[in-house]
Amino acid sequence: MTTDEMAVKLAETEARSKSNTHRLDALEGQIDAVNRLATAVEVMATEQKHQTETIKEIKADVTSLDGKVEAIEQKPARKWEGLAEKVLWALVAAAITFILSRIGMS
């Protein structure tokens, strides 16, 4: 190989080396972006796990509150039912008293 051929090969190698250096620099930026993306996805997955746990806790609280709310909602209805029962017994007692007074048992 002559000196001229070696000089051409050296020039080609240096050109390829510069080209590869630019490509590597571009890839380093892309690798950094991929690493940041992977970290962000990991953080999001952790947050989603915490949100899922929180939602389960809220559902459990709501379920226990449903029973309490239902009991509170039924309280006035029970009062009205008790009042209606007392009025019915009073009417029955009045009717029995009326009937007994009519037949002379008073």
pLDDT tens series, the chain, 106 aa: 899 889 889 899 999 999 999 999 989 989 999 999 999 999 999 999 999 999 988 888 777 777 777 777 778 888 888 899 999 999 999 999 888 888 876 5
Give yes or no for a contact between 106 and 100, defined as CB atoms under 8 angstroms apart.
yes
Regarding pTM above 0.75, the answer is no
The rounded distance, in Å, linking the Cα atoms of 98 and 91 is 10
**Do 91 and 85 form a contact (C-beta atoms < 8 A)?**
no
Please tell me the predicted confidence (pLDDT) of residue 69: 75
pLDDT per position as a tens digit, 56-74: 888 887 777 777 777 777 7
